[in-house]
A = this chain, B = another copy of it.
């Protein structure tokens, strides 16, 4: 799955659409209601970003306040409401969608990154009156974000109101906060390291930093540390929670409904206990810190909670983020296993697609169809139903669900045909999708959450005749992907050093993909994880530029995107491993975890160097060797053909 996030917004979108039926300007009305409060309380501007209390990438419906007020459903956007005007800031992926969704709301669209368009601080610097008041929910703005805003608006001497939720008085029928039960990971078979041991490592970092306490609101950090998982965010097995660690104990703050019978003894054994999620702020405010310092990551801890702590702070990038990025031996053994099973699922899906495409070509049909008989996908008649992006995704998800210890998808499957694949964040829906035809290319980016890990994989396949450009760009993408997979590098390198290995294939053609080449992946956690990242660009200010280490996993997913024509992405997940130690240093390399065939119909051997052709052949052979045992006889015979040397 690509770095661009794809949110499961279907529910919200539905409810907003329904409301719109009866009342044309529901969003304008809601903003009016907010303005009334603002006038009453002397607030000049309300800033409403999309975020939860935990700096999560995906947020539960409860937190979709920005959508509630604006009607805009994209994954990235900030609403700014003034007494006389309102604006929504979003990026290029959403300009068309936002324009449509904002219609009639009176909200002005600010196209981020376009020439002459001010960003939010610039806008505020101009519009906020001297000594004016800016409000935002201080639980969803980080310590660092608030500090930056303060610095940028210094000239206006603005007052910040941070203890209010703009939707509180207005959003009737707001979805509840999710409260799934928390479960404990088997420490030996699944986690590979006890919570006790992880806590010790954290406390060593606290000692080093001279801190007596560590606080965190990062959900995946907390889950990882305590070897627990939750069910509060779709596709992310995390529980809404906070963490407070001292030198010899810790508290996990949870909603009551989440606490399970085996959780308490598990935490107790590690020296901790459960407290109430709702009373975390009060706890922070009233705790007696003595002269101990409190360590926190200012990029994720909220400014309101930060302000509640009456003690000296030590700001540092989360040590838990760095720890959990390096998978341990148990995790690696499980990952290797579940990636092969996940790869087999996708391979079987590709076999299905291929057979339906071949049938359509044979029969001269304009569209691919669903078969009557799944056992006989290549010859059987069809149900009469067209195969489309959405039904294809459902079918893949169904195959994946059969894998033992499957928990849920790791993100909504991206199933994109033809020009739709040029949109990195595309999501087909039950009502809005393209039908598959026996020509051109189809891209599928998908993954699962298993007890044995989190997967993510993309393949692009030909469904019939393709153009020379498609073949050339697939071949380039493949070479780029393979080049990174075969990287060898000295310990000390970061993703900024490595990125060009993949990207230079595109740059030589005057092309570029507008995202990183790769991201870290959690272990039964978020599909996007830091701190490592494969990208040539500098990390955001305050973010670490993480050194690659053995045990890290990263995606390797270059792509060729041609607007309104097609999109190609090949994504294989790589495990960073030690290669050798020589007098010149310690060298690392990658081992692929993903084994799904590449599409030989889309490869132009004549533009590859012999070394690259060998790499492709070796990989295809390895795919056959590892995946064949999971296939039926027919599937196996097909895979044999698909993976023969070029």
A-to-B contact residues, CB < 8 Å = 487-490, 492-493, 496-501, 504, 506-508, 510-512, 514, 536-538, 545, 579-580, 582, 584-585, 587, 609-611
Docked pose: A83 CA to B500 CA in angstroms: 54
List B contacts of A504 (CB < 8 A).
487-489, 501
List B contacts of A510 (CB < 8 A).
579-580, 582, 584, 587
Residue from B487, B514, B582 within 8 A of A511 (CB atoms): B582
Is B512 a contact of A585 with CB atoms below 8 Å?
A: yes
Docked pose: A314 CA to B164 CA in angstroms: 40
Docked pose: A496 CA to B498 CA in angstroms: 9
List B contacts of A610 (CB < 8 A).
609-610
Is B507 a contact of A489 with CB atoms below 8 Å?
A: yes
Residue from B487, B490, B538, B580 within 8 A of A512 (CB atoms): B490
Is A507 a contact of B488 with CB atoms below 8 Å?
A: yes
A584 with B511, Cβ < 8 A, contacts A496-B496, A609-B611 known: yes
Task: Give min CB distance, A13 to chain B, whole Å.
Answer: 31
Task: Give min CB distance, A266 to chain B, whole Å.
Answer: 41
Task: Give min CB distance, A605 to chain B, whole Å.
Answer: 13
Listed from nearest, the 4 A-B pairs whose CB atoms lie closest are A510-B582, A512-B584, A609-B609, A497-B536
Docked pose: A579 CA to B504 CA in angstroms: 14
Docked pose: A609 CA to B612 CA in angstroms: 10
Kindly report which residue of chain B lies nearest to residue A562, judged by CB atoms.
B583
Q: 13 new A-B pairs (CB below 8 Å) besides A489-B504, A497-B500, A609-B610?
A: A488-B504, A489-B507, A490-B512, A492-B537, A496-B496, A496-B497, A497-B497, A497-B536, A500-B501, A510-B580, A510-B582, A512-B584, A514-B584
List B contacts of A545 (CB < 8 A).
538
Residue from B493, B507, B512, B537 within 8 A of A536 (CB atoms): B493
List B contacts of A490 (CB < 8 A).
507, 512, 536
Is B511 a contact of A500 with CB atoms below 8 Å?
A: no
Task: Give min CB distance, A249 to chain B, whole Å.
Answer: 32
Task: Give min CB distance, A511 to chain B, whole Å.
Answer: 5
List B contacts of A609 (CB < 8 A).
609-611
Docked pose: A498 CA to B231 CA in angstroms: 43
Kindly report which residue of chain B lies nearest to residue A492, judged by CB atoms.
B537
* Most chain B CB within a 10 A radius of its CB, from A487, A493, A510: A510
* Most chain B CB within a 10 A radius of its CB, from A579, A584, A587: A584
Docked pose: A611 CA to B613 CA in angstroms: 14
Is A489 a contact of B500 with CB atoms below 8 Å?
A: yes
Is B508 a contact of A488 with CB atoms below 8 Å?
A: yes
List B contacts of A506 (CB < 8 A).
584
